Amino acid sequence: MQEVDTTIDTIISEHRELRNMIAALRTFLEAARPEIGAPGAHTWATDFAERLVKLHDKIFRHFRHEESCGVLEEIERANPAAAAALESLRRDHDRMLADLRALLGAAMVYGEAKPLEDVRLRRWALSILSHLEEHEHEETDLIQETFCRDLGFGG
């Protein structure tokens, strides 16, 4: 159980780090892109793309860790009722990574064209961030529900 506890602590810590990265990207997206000629205008799209690359890399490593460390299997073993939810979360991994890569590609094209603003790109990014937040929240809930119940604290 010690190994599982350490793995769970790592995953929960990664979830916290991902929430912080998502919050920082949301804050970045709340501000309008600076007008051409204003400070930061020429680097805005590059900054956006850099943030997306860092988020993608972190999420990629996080998902692969979850898939390979055995904790998802341990949740399924300890909480058989969670099997369908776990399968949905597993399928979400590749879909969310593909969405992030597509968004990154669009952000790079957007940066090359240097238009003033593209609200569709911003909405798309915020939608992906919301999906990531929901996904991580569901995983955290499953972990807490499973292991608290396993310890006699849950329903």
d(CA 45, CA 153): 48
CB 42 within 8 A of CB 104: no
Q: Chain-wide mean pLDDT for the chain?
A: 87
Tell me the C-alpha distance between 20 and 24, whole Å: 6
Q: What is the pLDDT of residue 114?
A: 60
Residue 2 pLDDT exceeds 90: no
Residue 3 has pLDDT above 50, yes or no: yes
Q: What pLDDT sits at residue 26?
A: 96
Q: Which pTM does this prediction carry? A: 0.85
Helix ranges (DSSP H) in 31-118: 44-68, 71-78, 83-113
pLDDT at residue 27 in the model: 96
- Biggest alpha carbon distance in the chain? 61
